[in-house]
Structure 1
Amino acid sequence: MWTIDSVRALLYLAVERRERGGSCCAGRRERLNGQPTDVPRPLKAVDQHWPARPARNFVKPHHATSPARTGQAFLSVQDAAEYLGLSPHTLYVWRHRRQGPPSFRMGPRGRVMYRVEALNSWIRDQELADSRSNSNLDPLNAPRRFRSSGAAVA
């Protein structure tokens, strides 16, 4: 299915190709009065019909929506997903699989909530469990092990 953005991108490519003197259709030459010509015909600007939309920013900067600035101790699934830079669906899947940051149900309706301190400690645990950020887990820094016969093991 064609989206507006994909059509807009194709039209921009066609305009650029014509501005460079080529045809908008690869391998074809323009025909003017039945005669082939290399002179490009003028095109209307694409922006005249489809004004460019600003880029969508799905993840807001953490400093703008930081729970510390707003004084929140608990976050809903949507707020926690925004805070972590994930989609809410990912948090729902992780909760179903008993993975991800710890969560609990709050209130009579049983809304799923996340404690901000628990999110921060979970992020720290993830950093420590990754060998790229924890040099103690880097296999290149591990001491070499030897077999009983004396040959080195990688």
Structure 2
Amino acid sequence: MATDPRATLRAGLPDHYLTPEDLAALLTVPIETLYHWRKRRTGPTGFRVGRHLRYDPTAVRDWINQQTTRDAA
């Protein structure tokens, strides 16, 4: 049974590395947006495992906090 990724985001990020598809679903943005952010170095920091791109949930959480703090200022 598949879970709603938005419910996961509300409950907290998972404790495993996220794929670009996971992150796009969690943030409800197109995957192309993630790749655009990565190219411009404005999104959450990702890393490569071989040819696969992964995101650390801690880095994603920090990035989200930076975005919400910046918007509040």
TM-score, reference length from structure 1: 0.40
1:92 maps to 35
The 5-angstrom pairing of residues 134-153 of structure 1 reads 134=72, 137=73
1:127 maps to 68
- Post-superposition CA distance 1:6-59 (Å, at most 9, x none): xxxxxxxxxxxxxxxxxxxxxxxxxxxxxxxxxxxxxxxxxxxxxxxxxxxxxx
RMSD of equivalent CA atoms: 1.9
In structure 1, runs of 5+ residues without a counterpart are 1-59, 138-154
- Could you tell me which of 25, 38, 46 is aligned with 1:82? 25
**Structure with a larger share of its residues in helix:** 2
- Post-superposition CA distance 1:81-131 (Å, at most 9, x none): 11111111100111111111111111x3x211101111111111100001x
Larger Rg: 1
Query: How far, CA to CA, are the matches of 1:116 and 1:87 in structure 2?
Result: 18
Identity across aligned pairs (percent)?
Answer: 32
| 3-state DSSP of counterpart to 1:95 | helix
Aligned residues between the structures:
68
By relative contact order (CA 8 Å, sep 6+), the higher-ranking structure is 2
Query: How far, CA to CA, are the matches of 1:112 and 1:89 in structure 2?
Result: 14
TM-score, reference length from structure 2: 0.78
